[in-house]
Amino acid sequence: MFIKKRSIVILAFLMLVVFNMNAQFTIDADLKTRFEYRHGFNNLFPDDADPAAFVGQRTRLNLGYTHEKLKLFVSVQDVSTWGDTRQILPNDGNDSFSLFQAWAQLLLDEQWSIKAGRQVISYDDQRIFGGLDWALQGRFHDAALIKYQNKNHGIKADLGFAFSQENQKNEGTEFNISGFFTYKAMQYLHFNKSWEKSTLSALFLNTGFQKFTGDDNDIPDGTFYRQTAGVYFKFPIKNVNVTGSSYYQFGKANATTDLSAYQASIEGTYKTGKVLMGLGFETLSGTDQDGATENNSFFPLYGTNHKFNGFMDYFYVGNHANNVGLNDAYAKLVFTTGAKSNLLLKGHYFAAQADLTGDADKYLGTEIDLVYNQKLMKNVKLSVGYSHMFASDSMSLIKGGRPSDNVNNWAWVQLVIRPNLFTSNFKKN
């Protein structure tokens, strides 16, 4: 039944093109297949355990439609693991098929538009809002946006709204869907000003979460809010490109605890010949392990957190919330190895931002990331990666007491195929 409903959506989309011919219609495919070997990915590897290995695949079909002052976009996807469905089942018993995006954008004039529906929200370096394309399932928001763009002055501004409910009720608005910072309500304003080689953005984000009370914490009692405000910038200084950001979070960390937290980052890159060199530092505030009267732990919420703080996802990827924060000093080299290939080498030095219990050493570990990218042909890219975490004894204090002296590494091979299957401009005679 679920797949039939999605088929109806696609059929309706095609009929729209047929009956309204002054339009552009596109069909794109997105096939991402990734093999992973995990031996300490996301957490320290425990004693007496075997490594994990699997192949994950995302199969996505994107349908785009543009007609005068209307844009429509529908994206359906299947996210699965090779072998997770018996070969002769008449249907997919894992509910891996889903609607990833489905939005409409009304172009009111050359500057103003309204965009509503299920959509990817991504800004700047994707630190706070990102599409999370590394994850096979990606990230979407059910939201409405009022959008402004002045191309002559290089100005863009989005005002966004979301209100989440698990079903259509007759009484009450309690929201019981749990998830990593899954919001009940959201409002934000994002402003961007760009110049020829520079950009400056400002963001204010207000997210509301369901509040529960009672002995079992199961009685809905309103909504508590956390606010995130800050800036992102990018500009050149002679031959060095500088990027950075700074955000402050306040309001409530939970229903009863006040929040005061911050993030700041700076990175400089310089390219000479076939080598790009970069140095950077990011700090995210944390809460002392031995206790504090308020929560000081910054969390980057809805960003593409995999691209920050090491590819092994030890921090802020479904983890490290309300923890001791992080200081991340890193260096990277990107070598152009051919007309269609490059090699990335990146090293991170991790330390806790707040105090660890018993005044333990703040040094958490060092991670080395190595990624090779090769474009095989048009719309086809092969990537191979290896990462190694050299964890300190202090890392076990924030990772559930797991041992720090085991080997922690991760290897992967990924093939991405993203062709345009069909593009046509239909016009009435």
Sequence-distant (6+) residues with CB within 8 A of 108 are 69, 114
Q: Is residue 152 part of a domain?
A: yes
Q: Is residue 169 part of a domain?
A: no
pTM: 0.92
* Amino acid at residue number 99: L
Domain tally, the chain: 1
pLDDT score of 2: 47
Q: Is residue 9 part of a domain?
A: yes
**Structure token pair of residue 112:** 């103003």
- The rounded average pLDDT for each run of 10 residues, N- to C-terminus, in the chain (429 residues) is 55 56 89 98 97 98 95 97 86 83 96 98 98 97 98 97 95 88 97 96 97 80 95 96 98 94 98 97 97 92 97 97 97 97 98 96 98 97 98 97 96 98 76
**Nearest C-alpha neighbor of 422 from the set 77, 131, 25:** 25
Sequence-distant (6+) residues with CB within 8 A of 139 are 120, 130, 131, 132, 302, 304
Q: In this structure, are residues 348 and 367 in contact, taking their beta carbons and an 8 Å threshold?
A: yes
**Nearest C-alpha neighbor of 78 from the set 8, 136, 119:** 136
Please report which helix (H) or strand (E) contains residue 41, including its range: none
**Residue 405 has what DSSP assignment?**
S
**Structure token pair of residue 305:** 């957190």
Q: Is residue 171 part of a domain?
A: no
Q: Is residue 170 part of a domain?
A: no
Q: Give the CATH number for residue 147.
A: 2.40.160.100
Cα 34 to its chain centre, rounded Å, is: 18
The Cα 379–Cα 414 span in angstroms is 14
pLDDT score of 66: 94
pLDDT score of 90: 73
Q: In this structure, are residues 276 and 286 in contact, taking their beta carbons and an 8 Å threshold?
A: no
**Nearest C-alpha neighbor of 149 from the set 104, 121, 110:** 110
Beta bridge partner(s), residue 207? 186, 226
Q: In this structure, are residues 104 and 117 in contact, taking their beta carbons and an 8 Å threshold?
A: yes
Range of the domain at 134: 2-86+94-164+176-426
* 227 HSE (CA, 13 A, CB side): 10
Q: Is residue 33 part of a domain?
A: yes
Q: In this structure, are residues 179 and 188 in contact, taking their beta carbons and an 8 Å threshold?
A: no
